[in-house]
Amino acid sequence: MTRAIAPALLGLAAALALAAPAQAQDQTTTLISRAADGGTPNGPSINAVISGDRRYARVIAYESEATDIVRGDTNGVKDVFAVKRRGSINNKGTPWSGGDSILVSRGRGGDPADGPSFGASVSGDFRHAGSCVAFLSGATNLVAGDTNGKVDAFVVTAPGRAPRKVSDVSDDVNSVTVSGDCDQVSFTTARGDLYTADVERDAKRVSVRGNASDPSYATGNSNALVYAASGGVWLSSNGTSRGSLEARGGRNPVFNDLKRRTLAYEKTVGGRTQIGYRDVNRGEKIISSRGGSAGDGDSRQPVIGNSGFYVTFESDAGNLSVSASGVTGDENGRPDSYLFSDVREITLVQSVAERGVPLRGGGENPSTSYYANYMVFDSPAPLDAPDGTHQVWMRWLGAV
């Protein structure tokens, strides 16, 4: 128990530091999706995900239409790439440095994929290093014998290794998630079926009520799975059973099971999509809010970490806090990325170059490391451009 709680307490210290008005620690925003020559890619890069392995944050995966991130990318369609952390890697939340991007969705023999790839998920949790990347692809040449003509789910056990197909179904796969220990992959189909596969074995259909969507494995240390189905958010303790209904009316859920069992999810409130938040079997609160007033625009895509004390999400709202003093000022008219801290019950904008000042082009599709020292999102390049092609950026919030 001590091993689990002590790092969580360090995470609480980080939350306090992030919310402190007098914090003097440097924070930076840097480009992650780089061309092979180190410059800005020649096409959009979006939907980055970062591994949840404490502050090690070993892997970032994203999708891009660019053709100059790796040499020989001649297929003209979206591909999945990964960047591995390099240099001295520790659990202190020090500045993050990545190597060259690695093409994950590569065809047999290194040939370009003959169809688009997207929708990445990465492994890594409190006790397991991030290494695996699961993704979706319409390509037919990633593995031998792929003749179903459908979008399938694939996984690589490390960036650069050959993909393995984990979906053998007659329907398009529309979402995929990989467990923190890389033992399991779950995916949903366009018909609303949910499947779970051992990484080395065939997938089996999971019994669900109604149509399933938005599966997500727990942050922390288990293969618990949350997903949306009839009635709201369901929680399966092992990823293979239906589980129990935990949040009525919720969708697109995420779940933490280390120290606390905490859910975050999208929910329609007052005609807008908001972020609901609750400990299992406890009351719900809306965290896409300020001073008890819900956001005046839609919020979506929650990501949870730090024993449930942090939630990152994207929001169209203009009335959420931009600084620890609680003032507003999000006037760019674009979606922005926010970080909620349950320690101080405060939500702060993080798609910024300068603390408290939202980027003119906004920040979309956020993901965060377990202790939120590193947050990734996509926004126009160059940094703070009002418009243009999106690239993946990392906001570093400082060491602990």
Going through 32-172 in order, the beta strands assigned E by DSSP cover 45-50, 59-64, 79-84, 102-103, 117-122, 133-137, 152-156, 164-165
Residue with tokens 């990633």: 142
Q: Residue 338: what pLDDT?
A: 98
- The amino acid sitting at 145 is G
- Of residues 26 and 387, more confidence is placed in 387
268 pLDDT more than 80: yes
Residue with tokens 């240099």: 87
15 pLDDT more than 80: no
Worst-scoring range by mean pLDDT, 2-6, 60-64, 186-190, 336-340? 2-6
Distance of CA 110 to the CA centre of its chain: 27
Contacts 24+ apart (CB under 8 A), 18-21: 18/339, 18/341, 18/348, 18/372, 18/397, 18/398, 19/324, 19/341, 19/343, 19/344, 19/346, 19/348, 20/324, 21/323, 21/324, 21/325
What are the Cα distances from residue 178, in Å, to 52, 119, 218, 307? 12, 12, 10, 19
293 pLDDT more than 70: yes
How does pLDDT run across 139-179, given as a tens digit for each residue? 999 999 999 999 999 999 999 999 999 998 999 999 999 99
Residues 6+ apart with CB under 8 A from 256: 218, 219, 220, 262, 263, 304, 305, 306, 307, 308
- Give burial (CB, 10 Å; 0-12/13-18/19+) of 90: exposed
- Of residues 107 and 10, more confidence is placed in 107
How does pLDDT run across 110-132, given as a tens digit for each residue? 999 999 999 999 999 999 999 99
Q: Residue 25: what pLDDT?
A: 63
Rounded-to-integer distance, Cα 28 and Cα 35, Å: 20
Residues 69, 36: contact at Cβ < 8 Å?
Answer: yes
**DSSP assignment letter at 46:** E
End-to-end Cα, the chain, rounded Å = 21
Residues 114, 143: contact at Cβ < 8 Å?
Answer: no
6 pLDDT more than 70: no
- Residue whose C-alpha is closest to residue 348's, from 314, 327, 322, 312: 322
Residue with tokens 């001295």: 88
Worst-scoring range by mean pLDDT, 24-33, 95-104, 222-231, 250-259? 24-33
Residue with tokens 């020649």: 42
Worst-scoring range by mean pLDDT, 17-31, 62-76, 279-293, 314-328? 17-31
Q: Which two three-digit tokens encode residue 287?
A: 């965290």
Residues 6+ apart with CB under 8 A from 5: 259
Angle ∠(134,183,302) on CA atoms, nearest 5: 55
Residues 278, 247: contact at Cβ < 8 Å?
Answer: yes
Worst-scoring range by mean pLDDT, 34-43, 105-114, 193-202? 193-202
Residues 6+ apart with CB under 8 A from 135: 61, 63, 80, 104, 105, 117, 118, 119, 120, 121, 153, 154, 155, 176
How does pLDDT run across 65-111, given as a tens digit for each residue? 999 999 999 999 999 999 999 998 999 999 999 999 999 999 999 99
Residues 147, 139: contact at Cβ < 8 Å?
Answer: no
Q: Given pLDDT bands bounded at 50, 70 and 90, which one contains residue 196?
A: very high
Cα Rg of the chain (Å, integer) = 20
Rounded-to-integer distance, Cα 323 and Cα 346, Å: 9
Mean pLDDT, range 179-206, rounded to an integer: 93
- Residue whose C-alpha is closest to residue 83's, from 93, 97, 64: 97
- What percent of the chain is predicted at pLDDT more than 90? 89
Handedness of CA 224, 222, 392, 298 (dihedral sign): positive
Residues 6+ apart with CB under 8 A from 207: 241, 242
Mean pLDDT, range 183-198, rounded to an integer: 97
How does pLDDT run across 334-363, given as a tens digit for each residue? 999 999 999 988 999 999 999 999 999 999
DSSP, residue by residue, 206-275: EP-SS--EEEEEPBSSS--EEEEETTEEEEESSSSS--EEEEET-EEEEEE-SSS-EEEEEEEETTEEEE
Domains and CATH numbers, the chain: 2-396 (2.120.10.30)
8 pLDDT more than 70: no
Q: Given pLDDT bands bounded at 50, 70 and 90, which one contains residue 325?
A: confident
